[in-house]
Amino acid sequence: MAAWLARTGVRDWLFAYVGAVTVWLVTVVIADGFGAMQTLTAGLGFAVFYVLVATGQMFVIATGPGNIDLSIPATVTLGAGVAMSVMAGSDAMIVPGFLAAIATGIAVGSFNYALIRALRIPPIIATLSSSFVVQSTAIWYGRGLSIKPPDALQDFTFARVLDVPVMTLVAVLFTMAMAVVLRRTVYGRSVLAIGQNPKAAHLAGVDVERTRWVTYTLSAALAGFTGALFAGFSGGVSLDMGAQFLLASIAVVVIGGTSVAGGRANLPGLWGAALFLFLLVTMLNAAGVGSGVRQLLTGVLIIAVITAAGGEQRGR
């Protein structure tokens, strides 16, 4: 059993789900069984945004040590602002709005890559400084902006089938597709190869720089798209809407069983980790513990899940 878990890579992400189910059950007990299903529904809805940004972050982190995208929060805000102004509240403009948000992300991602490649700035500094530029652009762009999303978009983000949000179902399909990209395409295999050893990957004929460019662009494009969707869900654009995704995007990736050292990544873990983080806060809120204790327990439980997942010796 243990050997099978290790061989298939299931152990990498299993503990995120164990953690999520555990905190959910505890929440249900605290609330005397009240609202068990609705809590899960709320979690599945919010998890969509975390999973989308974390998918991009995961590909970036998988390309090896030092690779990280800190411009995600600013790109979410700018993508939301661009999308809402293109949509201008009209249902007919929803698709162009999303395309504009993705295009914004592609521009930001290419800019990030240019800083990293041409100016040889380490990714953590390059994406941090570009986030200042992007956030300032969002502030400048967002002044006096009409902020309401089109009704059809808002209705879509609230729509459900059997208590499961429709956008969650769509996002699950998307992550399944990305899992195939990661495992079965030249691009996905290149990301993992670079993450394990960029020199060896280069000698094996992988176009290292092109892969990096695609990866940073993918991350920013997903952030821009997420911003547009999130603006629909939360009823408009606000300048601070992206801030919550900075640490969350990284935490979801790590709790989900992706190696920070690069070269190992998986998509199922992102859902488990996003649900775990959401339900953890819900559990502590429902228990009514003070903010100090809550932050302490959040830290301790995150460490517990990561340790449980990586505690034994990893087989390859």
Using CB under 8 A as the criterion, which residues of the chain lie in contact with other proteins when the complex forms? 27, 30-31, 34-39, 41-43, 45-46, 132, 135, 139, 142-147, 158, 230, 233-241, 243-244, 278-279, 281-282, 285-286, 288, 291-292, 294-295
Secondary-structure breakdown of the chain: helix, strand, coil percentages, each rounded to the nearest 5: 75, 0, 20
CB of 261 to other proteins, least distance (A): 28
- 62 vs 80 by CB, closer to other proteins: 80
Say which residues have a Cβ less than 8 Å from residue 15's Cβ, sequence separation at least 6. Answer: 257, 272, 305, 308, 309
CB of 76 to other proteins, least distance (A): 10
CB of 268 to other proteins, least distance (A): 23
Q: Which residues of 211-241 are buried (b: 16+ CB within 10 A; e: fewer)?
A: bbbbbbbbbbbbbbbbbbbbbbbeeebeeeb
* Single-letter amino acid, residue 193: A
Longest alpha-carbon distance in the chain: 60
CB of 40 to other proteins, least distance (A): 9
- 43 vs 195 by CB, closer to other proteins: 43
- 284 vs 309 by CB, closer to other proteins: 284
Angle at 270 between CA 129 and CA 166, to 5 degrees: 105
Beta carbons of 124 and 68 less than 8 angstroms apart: yes
- 236 vs 310 by CB, closer to other proteins: 236
CB of 117 to other proteins, least distance (A): 25
- 137 vs 197 by CB, closer to other proteins: 137
